[in-house]
Amino acid sequence: LFRESGEAILAQDHNWKGKHWKNLIPEGVHDSFQYAFDWCLEVHQVRSVQAPIVEGNRIKWVQYRLGYYENNDFTGVSLISIDITHQVDTLNELEKLSRSIEQTPSLIVMTDLNGRTEYINPSYERIYGVNLSEQVGKIPIQLKQDKNKDYTQIWKTLSMGESWTGEIEVSR
């Protein structure tokens, strides 16, 4: 807990007691932390601030959750810090994967269990001259077009909730 002045009065880590939050929070986020601190005191709601902390050659991400706190004669801000490094790293990996799918020249179609389109990448949109909103809920033309190819296995795989990966030749 921190007083309106920013001084810690109670903390799980007793080394914090009596220190101002500016001595405990990375300097690079002081402005956004100050804004969140003041906002909590004024609006009486929860606010979050994320900050990178460099530990050796690794970056650790911490989320500070600030909330208005009032009890008898005390008004201040409660602070909880949470290590969100794993979540940030996972999000970064997902963004890289997303960019690679968006930028590949290969056509990518993702369907639901019934084989209906949920997603097409930009290469698919460009080649077929359609956009995602036009294709959502429709069966992709590639799974209907080639009468010489046996699609039984593809449909069986998709209907079992499994992924099918492969190449289908179609003419356009």
Question: Over the stretch 36-79, which tens digit does the pLDDT of each residue have?
Answer: 999 999 999 999 999 888 888 999 999 999 999 988 888 889 98
Give, in degrees to the nearest 5, the angle at Cα 119 between 115 and 122.
Answer: 135
Question: Over the stretch 85-135, which tens digit does the pLDDT of each residue have?
Answer: 999 999 999 999 999 999 999 888 888 877 789 999 999 999 888 888 988
Considering only residues 10 and 157, tell me which one the structure prediction assigns the higher pLDDT.
157
The predicted pLDDT at position 83 comes to 94
- pTM, two decimals, is 0.64
Mean per-residue pLDDT over the chain, rounded: 85
Q: Are 44 and 76 in contact (CB under 8 A)?
A: no
